[in-house]
Amino acid sequence: MKIVVGLGNPGPKYIKTRHNVGFMVVERLAEKLGIKVESKRFHALAGEEVVNGENLLLVKPLTYVNESGRTVKELQKNYSCPLDSIMVICDDLNLPLGKLRIRRKGSSGGHNGLESIISHLESEDFPRLRIGIGHPPHGEAREYVLSPFLKGEGEVLEEGLERACEALLEWMREGIEVCMKRFN
């Protein structure tokens, strides 16, 4: 089984914000694979389907980004799956808009959602796909991540979301090493 968890904040207020790129990737992948992500369980919306002979669970936590660890811990416990089968997708302020960074494991890098997951799992040993949202030109990072993308950023964002979906499918087929070599 593979579990893909896209981080974001629930509710219409946050739909198009930078902090919700994880949700955006899950929604795009679900659309491509014909998976409905609407079942409420584990404090999340989830959808499950067999893809290329393997169960795939797509998840959008409803706990807000900073409390995502609760959902991921419940998923890991309920499905008894190894941590390397759970891919977390999140935004990254330190990457240019649309750029991907995939890692097998690592620190939170200051991302509160990843910090919550690390705390709940008591481990940094899970893969993550970070999507660049760019650095705030001025002002506070908190305001920036909760702001919508600008009109001129749409094309670069779309390319990043598309590459993220390709990377996730590659991860499922070939594993994390091949995925990192191809998409980093």
Catalytic residue numbers, as ranges: 19
User: Token digits for 122?
Assistant: 């008591």
Q: Compute the distance between CA of residue 73 and CA of residue 112 in angstroms, rounded to an integer.
A: 15
Residue 183 half-sphere exposure toward CB, CA atoms < 13 A: 31
Q: Compute the distance between CA of residue 160 and CA of residue 94 in angstroms, rounded to an integer.
A: 15
Could you give the strand order of the β-sheet that contains 54-61, starting from the edge strand earlier in sequence? 39-41, 44-51, 54-61, 2-6, 86-92, 128-132, 100-103
Strand-pair category, 100-103 with 128-132 = antiparallel
User: Token digits for 152?
Assistant: 């001129």
DSSP 42: T
Q: Compute the distance between CA of residue 149 and CA of residue 24 in angstroms, rounded to an integer.
A: 12
CA dihedral (30, 75, 13, 18) positive or negative: negative
